[in-house]
């Protein structure tokens, strides 16, 4: 095997071939390979003329390639043969003959290689293949002159990379104006060749096509670089421009995100403007320490001799920050937020389906740095517990005395006060309501259970820890009557609302006459027989009762022990239905309207707490109830006062 040196090839010439002839040259054979590829497997006799015409032309390696010969003979020759003879030579390769040699101007071959050369006025680049026009020129110090594409007024040179530097004293600016034909190659709106004018502060262009750029171009700078690039194609005329100089002017913008007064295209030296930040932006400077600032969005600036404004204070975007959602606003949550800066938006929601959003859900960051709703509210909405709804409506009517057992999740506001075996009703996730007389003998905070109906399974019920209770200030237990028999219970932590633990709604103020003849539902774990405390139900029972007129209610029974009439007041009402009544152990429990029963429609009003079980002489007759709508102001004031003191 022989290999050619770099820039050369090997040539092999066979002059004689006389080998034993056999089928497929299986006996004696001469195998020839070019560049590791077998090209011939020869045997038999061939004359020099035959070898020259058919074999030798293929025996040439590639540049720096190799030739290999392998001769094999066996012992079966029946006659003598002369064998073969050949010689090889090293030949120089003419790389310039190949179209892909890379020279875009001239190519010169030499033994072992080649070299690229450029026409006059061009320079060979570092890749030793590409020629570019020699058109870089420093024109600094000249206040006026002319710059054109190389070859002007003829076609400009191909593969040009031109750069012209202009520089004058810093008190003046350079002005450029195009003169004559403008013709820089473009194709389908894309610049194939380009002209770019660069200053330290901004760029003009790139320009191309047949329409000259609008001129004169006031560069606003005493330093300009004109950059022209062309590819290897095209025969366009190029450009010519005249440059002059004049006193610098200031641009019509002092700082981004602001406006100036008065408004002019350019400003001369010593002219003054008032700079005002756009809406939603402000100057982050101390007004007291910076005399030019009028307020946090306005200041005064002057045009200097160098064409720059002074002073310059940036206009920064107003930042609202992360929405400040307090713990007591739980379960209010941010659904999504675009940004916390001016005109950023947030969408709010309640995390739990057992709460409704009371207020607007979308807030925008305004120019004062406040989150504001579309209606102008800056206070975030509240998540208010869903009240007066159940996930399962009762399917039949029932009673307490002679009543029917409630099903799970049917009366989710019903609570149990353990110490007095009394009832209460949840009115939101932090407050419950009951009768004042429940606390007559109580010396500590009560224990309250909710979220269940079977007292035999009380371990599965939810324990609601009490922080404090509030008896109505006009309730007078020593007078042995039940006027103002109402109390509020504040929980230590929010009740974990669920389908089995939901508040009942407070009622609206209602005309007593309008309620006569209406029906409501009472519920509790009280006695199922008249005053039989041993017969208290372990299951939550309910009954539907009729609300009677005040005339009937005022026919009050005698107090059992003292034979004096119990006092009926406007703060009470009575209800019952032929042996259906609340009884001992039901005190403090709820009477809700409308009555629980089969669902009428989706728009059925939510259940409202119209009454609280207060008193009665004989179970199964009339029951007397505290009229809740008489105490709405006290309830609201007490809860708000406690909420504000806790913050």
Annotated binding site: 20, 28, 74, 76, 92-93, 95, 109-110, 113, 185, 193, 231, 233
The active-site residue, picked from 159, 183, 429, 485, is 485
3-state DSSP assignment of residue 628: helix
Q: Are 590 and 425 in contact (CB under 8 A)?
A: yes
Buried b (16+ CB within 10 A) or exposed e, 247-272: ebbbbeebbeebebeeeeeebeeeee
3-state DSSP assignment of residue 43: coil
The active-site residue, picked from 420, 587, 614, 629, is 587
DSSP state of 312: -
- Tell me whether residue 532 is one of the annotated catalytic residues: no
- Tell me whether residue 366 is one of the annotated catalytic residues: no
Q: Mind giving me the DSSP string for 44-73? A: SEE-HHHHHHHTGGG-B--TT-EEEEEEE-
Euclidean distance between CA atoms 243 and 166, whole angstroms = 9
Extract the annotated binding site for Ca(2+).
20, 28, 74, 76, 92-93, 95, 109-110, 113, 185, 193, 231, 233
Buried b (16+ CB within 10 A) or exposed e, 160-196: bbbebebbbeeebbbbbebeeebbbbbeeeebbbbbb
Q: Which residues pair with 30 in a beta bridge?
A: 42, 71
- Tell me whether residue 54 is one of the annotated catalytic residues: no
Q: Which residues pair with 301 in a beta bridge?
A: 273
First vs last C-alpha separation in the chain = 97
- What's the burial of 514, exposed, middle or buried (CB within 10 Å: 0-12/13-18/19+)? exposed
The active-site residue, picked from 61, 437, 586, 614, is 437
Q: Are 85 and 14 in contact (CB under 8 A)?
A: yes
Euclidean distance between CA atoms 558 and 565, whole angstroms = 4
Angle at 506 between CA 503 and CA 507, to 5 degrees: 145
Other CB atoms within a 10 A radius of the CB of residue 339 amount to 13
What are the catalytic residues? 437, 485, 587
């Amino acid at each position: 095997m022989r290999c050619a040196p770099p820039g050369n090839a090997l040539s092999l010439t066979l002059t004689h071939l006389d080998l034993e002839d056999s089928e497929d040259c299986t006996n004696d054979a001469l195998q020839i390979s070019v560049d590791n590829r077998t090209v011939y497997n020869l045997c038999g006799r061939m004359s020099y003329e035959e070898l020259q015409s058919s074999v030798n032309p293929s025996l040439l390696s590639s540049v720096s390639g190799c030739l290999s010969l392998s001769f094999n003979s066996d012992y079966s020759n029946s006659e003598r043969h002369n064998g073969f003879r050949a010689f090889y030579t090293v030949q120089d390769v003419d790389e310039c003959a190949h179209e892909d040699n890379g020279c875009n101007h001239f190519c010169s071959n030499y033994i072992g290689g080649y070299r690229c050369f450029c026409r006059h006025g061009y320079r060979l680049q570092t890749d030793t293949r590409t020629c570019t026009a020699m058109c870089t020129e420093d024109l600094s110090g000249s206040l006026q002159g002319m710059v054109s594409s190389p070859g002007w007024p003829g076609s400009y040179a191909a593969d040009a990379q031109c750069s012209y530097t202009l520089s004058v004293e810093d008190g003046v600016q350079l002005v450029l104006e195009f003169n004559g034909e403008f013709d820089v190659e473009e194709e389908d709106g894309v610049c194939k060749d380009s002209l770019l004018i660069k200053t330290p502060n901004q760029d003009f262009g790139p320009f191309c096509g047949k329409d000259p750029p609008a001129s004169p171009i006031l560069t606003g700078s005493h330093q300009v670089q004109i950059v022209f690039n062309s590819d290897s194609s095209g025969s366009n005329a190029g450009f010519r421009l005249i440059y002059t100089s004049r006193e610098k002017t200031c641009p019509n913008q002092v700082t981004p995100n602001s406006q100036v007064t008065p408004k002019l295209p350019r400003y001369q030296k010593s002219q003054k403007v008032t700079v005002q930040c756009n809406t939603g932006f402000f100057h982050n400077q101390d007004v007291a320490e910076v005399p030019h600032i009028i307020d946090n969005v306005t200041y005064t600036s002057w045009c200097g001799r160098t064409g720059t404004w002074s002073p310059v204070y940036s206009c920064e975007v107003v930042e609202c920050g992360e929405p400040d959602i307090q713990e007591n606003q739980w379960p209010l949550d941010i659904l999504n937020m675009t940004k916390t800066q001016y005109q950023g938006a947030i969408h709010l929601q309640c995390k739990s389906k057992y709460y409704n959003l009371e207020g607007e859900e979308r807030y925008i960051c305004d120019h004062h740095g406040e989150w504001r709703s579309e209606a102008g509210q800056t206070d975030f909405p509240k998540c208010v517990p869903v009240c007066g709804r159940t996930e399962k409506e009762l399917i039949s009517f029932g009673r307490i005395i002679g009543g029917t057992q409630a099903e799970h999740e049917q009366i989710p506001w019903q609570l149990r006060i353990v110490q007095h075996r009394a009832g209460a009703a949840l009115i939101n996730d932090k407050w419950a309501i009951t009768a004042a007389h429940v606390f007559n003998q109580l010396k500590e905070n009560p224990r309250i259970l909710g979220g269940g109906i079977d007292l035999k399974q009380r371990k599965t019920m939810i324990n609601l820890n009490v922080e404090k209770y509030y008896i109505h200030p006009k309730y007078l237990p020593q007078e042995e009557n039940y006027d103002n028999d109402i109390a509020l219970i504040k929980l230590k932590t929010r009740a974990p609302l669920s389908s089995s633990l939901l508040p009942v709604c407070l009622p609206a103020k209602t005309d007593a006459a309008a309620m006569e003849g209406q029906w409501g539902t009472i519920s509790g774990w009280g006695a199922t027989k008249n005053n039989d405390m041993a017969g208290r139900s372990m299951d939550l029972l309910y009954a539907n009762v009729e609300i009677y007129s005040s005339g009937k209610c005022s026919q009050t029974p005698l107090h059992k022990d003292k034979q004096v009439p119990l006092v009926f007041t406007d703060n009470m009402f009575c209800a019952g239905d032929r042996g259906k009544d609340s009884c001992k152990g039901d005190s403090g429990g709820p009477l809700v309207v409308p009555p629980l029963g089969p669902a009428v429609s989706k728009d059925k009003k939510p259940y409202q707490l119209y009454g609280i079980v207060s008193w009665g002489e004989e179970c199964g007759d009339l029951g007397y109830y505290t009229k809740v709508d008489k105490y709405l102001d006290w309830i609201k004031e007490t809860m708000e006062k406690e909420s504000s003191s806790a913050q």
